C-alpha cells in the first residue's frame, strides 16, 4: 500500500504540484505492469515519509498520463526526476538505491 505522503499525479495536476516556485519535488514515473517499478515503490514510500512536509513526492502512471511522460522524455521506467522551482535538476532511469536518491534529494534541497 502506498504511503499517504505520495501524491498520485495526473496530466492535469502535475504542474500545480510539481512546478510551483519554492517547491522541491520527486516524481516517480511508473506503470502497474513494470516489475522494477514495483520494487522501487517501497523506496519512494519511505522517502515520502522521511521528507513529509519538506518535499513533494508523487507518482505518474505513464499508461494513464501519457502527455506528462512524453513532455519529460520518459522512454524507460522506472524513471525518477527531481525538480526544484519548476526545473528538472536530476534524472534517474532504472531501479535506484534509497541512499542514492536521498543523497540526490539533499543535494537539490541545498542547491541555489
Q: Respond yes or no: is residue 37 known to be catalytic.
A: yes
- What predicted TM-score, i.e. pTM, was given to this entire model? 0.95
User: For residues 40 and 62, what is the distance between their CA atoms, to the nearest angstrom?
Assistant: 15
Q: Which residue out of 19, 31, 34, 52 is catalytically annotated?
A: 34
Architecture of domain 6-106: 3-Layer(aba) Sandwich (3.40)
Q: Respond yes or no: is residue 65 known to be catalytic.
A: no
The answer to whether 6 and 46 have CB atoms below 8 angstroms apart is no
Strand, helix or coil for residue 50: helix
Amino acid 1: pLDDT: 45
**What does the mean pLDDT of the chain come to?**
95
pLDDT, tens digit, 9 for 90 and up, residues 75-93: 999 999 999 999 999 999 9
Alpha carbon of residue 49 to chain centroid: 14
- pLDDT tops 70 at residue 58: yes
C-alpha Rg value of the chain to the nearest Å: 13
Q: Which residue out of 25, 37, 47, 104 is catalytically annotated?
A: 37
Amino acid at each position: 500500500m502506498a504511503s499517504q505522503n505520495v501524491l498520485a499525479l495526473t496530466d492535469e495536476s502535475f504542474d500545480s504540484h510539481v512546478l510551483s516556485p519554492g517547491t522541491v519535488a520527486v516524481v516517480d514515473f511508473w506503470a502497474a505492469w513494470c516489475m522494477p517499478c514495483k520494487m522501487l515503490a517501497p523506496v519512494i514510500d519511505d522517502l515520502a515519509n522521511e521528507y513529509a512536509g519538506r518535499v513533494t513526492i508523487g507518482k505518474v502512471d505513464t499508461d494513464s498520463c501519457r502527455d506528462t511522460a512524453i513532455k519529460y522524455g520518459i522512454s524507460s521506467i522506472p524513471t525518477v526526476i527531481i525538480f526544484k522551482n519548476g526545473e528538472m535538476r536530476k534524472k534517474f532511469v532504472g531501479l535506484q538505491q534509497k541512499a542514492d536518491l536521498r543523497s540526490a534529494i539533499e543535494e537539490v534541497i541545498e542547491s541555489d
